[in-house]
Amino acid sequence: MKKLNLTLLTTLTLLTFSACSSKPIHAPSQNKALNSVTSSTAQKEKDGAMQQSLDKWLNDEWTPIVEKDEIIKEKYKDEKRDFTLQEYVDKSEVYIRDTNSSYENSHSQKMKSMPVIGN
């Protein structure tokens, strides 16, 4: 009896999965039922606030500071190379050196100057 139940369950499972996989996949533009509800001419989704902020920061701050450094220009002038972690580290070093030149402006100094909460 157990063998029959196992065989029956296996057969039904295989039939179910094979039936699901044999159905043709339609893109939404070819699906008539979906097109009757919504049109396929939906607008492209715009970037969110965080992505817009990051793009603005990259274009306004990061890129101008990093591109004016002659060592970075010389080292990474080949356009056909792969991006490496070392390239990011070199560029971030240039950015940090140019933007945060004093210890008083550092984040760690600001955190150390804050009063301790809870005492």
Q: What percent of the chain has pLDDT over 90?
A: 22
Amino acid at 40: S
Amino acid at 59: N
Residue 69 forms part of a structural domain: yes
Please give the pLDDT value at position 79. 79
At 119 the pLDDT is 41
- State pTM to two decimals: 0.47
In a domain, 72, yes or no: yes
**By the 8 A CB rule, do 94 and 119 touch?**
no
**b/e 48-87 (16+ beta carbons within 10 angstroms → b):** eeeeeeeeeeeeeebeebbeebeebeeebeeeeeeeeeee
What is the count of structural domains for the chain?
A: 1
Please tell me the predicted confidence (pLDDT) of residue 85. Answer: 93
Give whichever of 25-39, 40-54, 55-69 has the largest mean pLDDT: 55-69
- Asked whether residue 97 is domain-assigned, the answer is yes
- Is residue 43 scored above 70 in pLDDT? no
Across 28-49, average pLDDT: 67
With respect to residue 43, please indicate whether it lies within any of the assigned structural domains. no
Residue 71 CA: distances (Å) to CA of 43, 66, 67, 68, 77: 43, 10, 10, 9, 10
pLDDT of residue 20: 53
Q: Considering the domain boundaries, does residue 88 fall inside one?
A: yes
- Residue 39 falls within a domain, yes or no? no
Let me know if residue 94 belongs to a domain.
Answer: yes
Q: Which residues constitute the domain of residue 93?
A: 49-113
103 part of a folded domain: yes
CA–CA separation, 63 and 73 (whole Å): 12
